Amino acid sequence: MNDTEPAIRTRQLTRHFGEVTAVDDLNLEVPRQIIQGFLGPNGSGKSTTIRMLCGLLHPDAGDVVVLGQHLPERAEALKQHIGYMTQRFSLYEDLTCLENLRFMADIYSLPRPKARRRIDELLTRHDLHELAHRYAATLSGGQKQRLSLAAATLHEPELLFLDEPTSAVDPQSRRDFWETLFELCEQGTTLLVSTHYMDEAERCHRLAILDRGRLVANGSPRQLERGITAHVIRIECEVPHAVRSRLQQQAGILSVTQLGLGLRVLIEQRIDNPLAHIENGLSDLAGSCQIEHTHPNLEDVFVATTRLKDGNPSP
Amino acid sequence: MNSLIRLLAIMHKEVRQLRRDRLTLGMIVGIPLLQITLFGFAINTDVRYLTAGVANQSASQLARWLVADAEASQVIRIVRQVDTPEQLENLIRRGDIAVGLFIPEDFTRRLQDPEHRPAAQLLIDGSDPLILAAARQLSAMETLHRIEAPRKLQTPTFAIRPYFNPERRSALYIVPGLMGVILTMTMVLFTAVSIVRERERGNLELLINTPVRKAELMVGKITPYILIGLVQISLILGLGVFVFHIPVNGRLEDVYLAALCFIGANLTMGLVISTLAKNQFQAMQTTFFFFLPSILLSGFMFPFDGMPTAARWIAEGLPLTHFVRLMRGILLRGAGIGELASEIMALGLFSVVMLSLAVRRFRKTLD
């Protein structure tokens, strides 16, 4: 296998479920040894894409090459080299942590001595030694997630898929979890993580934003922020509620978000002078407001790309 | 080699989960115990002591003898004395009695009637055919030999010799078939549910992302149940032999060989159901959809010879039909497995067809 080749490459990948187009003409390249994020609202096609990339779903059209293997034909050959952490906890709840890991080691045909070593390493890394003989059903959300990750990485996969891995986990566990993901990445694993948390998206090396099955943006978080196709304006005022309802009726406004006493406003790029546009819209209210340009963040990018009906996806 | 490791891993895991699943463990032992107790003790097709009412309008000694003889036959037990046949009809309609015995006023005169009109009347609740059949025994009662004293004794056309079950005990007839009924219920249900449960709990989504092959998964999951099936067979057979004195006229190894083939057929059926059902509830419904015709058409409950041709064809496609024949053959008639080879072949064919169907239908994808 050629290591300079991307870990994942899709061309015009499409999948329908009845009338609904879950994934629409998706072209994606994921280089090796990075954390690639998938950001998108529910139903944007994140899970469907991941399932097609693992060979679990057949695409209706398009090409998929994962780790040099063409899918879906070579799906079975791929299984030994990928790991998959499902959205739901999918290990056996009536087995203990250790029994689950031993079972998975056998399923991946790890030789016994190696299996023992790997299981011991992973119990240490994920701080699971004390829980080794507890039934999986009795674990907390964060503990289950660590166990799932340990099971998914037992056979040292080159490519690891994580489908919304942190949906049932507290913030501290999430931070620890991401530390582990970075460690894995440094050791040479390519990771694909789907999420709908901005702080997680922020951490990815590259981030693909999906909206209704289409790829609307892809790049590093900084690139995406620089390439935003909207003006970001911050308004400080005494009556944010009134200002907000006034702005929402105005043309060219993509979104208005209240943050404490401030408002964050996204304005379409075709408006040449956004500050004047807002002042005009507010008329009598404008006097009491402080209106200024501000730096776009990832959430702005997400809103701008998923709100624009005919938006041009940034590179 | 890897394939064997994966197969063993799945079997090992399955056994471990079974050991921890108290409900299933309870069912493995509880279902056979409950069923054999119910069928063996409670169900008796040899009906006796039907509740009866008498309307005796004749004051004669002969009429009293008739009533006494009818009761002495043990077919009926008189619980009500009334005056008119209309009252008997009412009691039957209300379900208070199953049989009404009406003796008219002119009973003694009718007995000497040259036209041989019946002297008395039996009113029978015909809504249950077994009651009807039992009560008809009364009409053959030779009660009136006391009156028609020098009656010519008839030579019977046939002498009946009931082979294999001379005492006509119901248990002897029921227990061999019951072994099959219990196995059908537990084996099909356990396999179907055990795979569907993995799908419901999301375990399958994890497994299909691993190198495990579908044949390994299926064989690994059903193999432990073969052992459970054999345990159940031994349990029922043991109870049958020691409590209900079922004879083992054939060879015991033939019984187990037949049981093994039958267990295989049911497990593969369970696999097919697991590929059809989306959740455990559907798996149970589908199992009962298979279970009911099995019970009704296999010859376990109703004789095969009474069924119309179409029903017989369906019955030939059900493993239970063949197993009931095998068990009655080996246990009661002392037949060898060689004499019943066609039944074994039918079970084998069923298993092969179902297994290939299940492997074809099972997908390692989520499409």
Give the span between the Cα atoms of B51 and B70, in whole angstroms. Answer: 12
pLDDT value, residue A181: 93
Residues of chain B positioned with their CB less than 8 A from the CB of A103: 9, 12-13
Q: Does the beta-carbon distance from A90 to B8 stay under 8 Å?
A: no
Same domain, A237 and A212: no
Q: Does the beta-carbon distance from A107 to B9 stay under 8 Å?
A: yes
Domain end among A224, A241, A271 = A224
A217 token code pair: 């943006």
ipTM, interface predicted TM-score of the complex: 0.81
Residues of chain B with CATH 3.40.1710.10: 50-146
Alpha carbon distances (Å) from B79 to B66, B67, B91: 16, 12, 11
Q: How many domains does chain A have?
A: 2
What residues contact A79, with CB distance under 8 A and at least 6 apart?
A55, B209, B210, B211
Residues of chain B positioned with their CB less than 8 A from the CB of A60: none
pLDDT value, residue A3: 60
Q: Which of B9, B20, B209 sits opposite A56 (nearest CB)?
A: B209
Q: Which of A72, A95, A108 sits opposite B210 (nearest CB)?
A: A108
Domain ranges, residue A52: 8-224
Nearest chain A CA: its distance from B282 CA (Å): 21
Question: Could you tell me the pLDDT band of residue B142, with boundaries at 50, 70 and 90?
Answer: low
B244, pLDDT greater than 90: no
Interface residue of B1, B210, B217 to substitute, partner A, most A CBs within 10 Å: B210
pLDDT value, residue B178: 87
pLDDT digits (tens, 9 = 90+) for B247-268: 889 899 999 999 999 999 999 9
- In three-state secondary structure terms, A303 is helix
Q: Does the beta-carbon distance from B211 to A57 stay under 8 Å?
A: no
Give the span between the Cα atoms of A206 and B239, in whole angstroms. Answer: 69
Alpha carbon distances (Å) from B329 to A10, B142, B177, B186, B276: 64, 37, 11, 23, 35
CATH number of the CATH domain containing A255? 3.30.70.100
pLDDT value, residue A310: 45
Interface residue of A48, A52, A106 to substitute, partner B, most B CBs within 10 Å: A106
Residues of chain B positioned with their CB less than 8 A from the CB of A147: none
What residues contact A87, with CB distance under 8 A and at least 6 apart?
A47, A163, A164, A165, A167
Q: Which of A58, A94, A104 sits opposite B365 (nearest CB)?
A: A58
Alpha carbon distances (Å) from A111 to A82, A117, A262: 18, 10, 60
B149, pLDDT greater than 70: no
In a domain? residue A314: no
Q: Which of A58, A92, A109 sits opposite B203 (nearest CB)?
A: A92
Burial B349-359 (b: 16+ CB within 10 A, else e): ebbeebbeebb
Question: Could you tell me the pLDDT band of residue B150, with boundaries at 50, 70 and 90?
Answer: very low
What residues contact B133, with CB distance under 8 A and at least 6 apart?
B47
Using a pLDDT cut of 90, give the percent of chain B over it.
34
Residues of B within an 8 Å Cβ radius of A = 2, 5-6, 8-10, 12-13, 16-17, 20-21, 201-203, 205-212, 364-367
Residue A192's beta-bridge partner residues? Answer: A36, A161
Residues of chain B positioned with their CB less than 8 A from the CB of A160: none
Cβ-based contacts under 8 A for chains A and B? 74
Fold of B50-146: abc type-2 transporter like fold (3.40.1710)
Same domain, A13 and A100: yes
Same domain, A38 and A168: yes
pLDDT value, residue B177: 86
DSSP string, A44-101: SSHHHHHHHHHTSS--SEEEEEETTEEETTTHHHHHTTEEEE-SS--S-TTSBHHHHH
In a domain? residue A313: no
Same domain, A127 and A25: yes
pLDDT digits (tens, 9 = 90+) for A31-41: 999 999 999 88
Q: Which residue has the higher pLDDT, B66 or A84?
A: A84
Q: Which of A55, A93, A109 sits opposite B6 (nearest CB)?
A: A109
Nearest chain B CA: its distance from A84 CA (Å): 7
Domain end among A224, A248, A268 = A224
Q: Which of B10, B13, B202 sits opposite A90 (nearest CB)?
A: B202
pLDDT value, residue A311: 42
- Closest chain A residue to B210 measured between Cα atoms? A79
Q: Does the beta-carbon distance from B211 to A79 stay under 8 Å?
A: yes
What residues contact A215, with CB distance under 8 A and at least 6 apart?
A26, A27, A28, A208, A209, A313
Residues B43, B178 contacting (CB under 8 angstroms): no
Q: pLDDT tens string for chain A (315 positions)? A: 456 789 999 999 999 998 889 999 999 999 999 999 999 888 888 989 999 999 889 999 999 999 999 988 888 899 999 999 988 899 999 999 999 999 999 999 999 999 999 999 999 999 999 999 999 999 998 899 999 999 999 999 999 999 988 877 888 888 889 999 999 999 999 999 998 888 889 999 999 999 988 999 899 999 999 988 888 999 888 888 888 888 888 888 888 888 888 889 998 888 888 888 888 887 777 778 888 888 998 988 988 888 765 444 333
pLDDT digits (tens, 9 = 90+) for B92-109: 888 889 889 999 888 888
DSSP string, A278-292: HHHHHGGGGGG-EEE
Q: If you search the block for the tokens 């994962």, which residue do you land on?
A: A66
pLDDT value, residue B148: 53
In a domain? residue A261: yes
* Phi, psi angles (nearest 5°) of residue A251: -70, 155
Domain end among A178, A200, A224 = A224
Same domain, A83 and A199: yes
pLDDT value, residue B144: 54
- Closest chain A residue to B17 measured between Cα atoms? A94
Stated pTM of the model: 0.81
Q: Which of A82, A86, A109 sits opposite B202 (nearest CB)?
A: A86
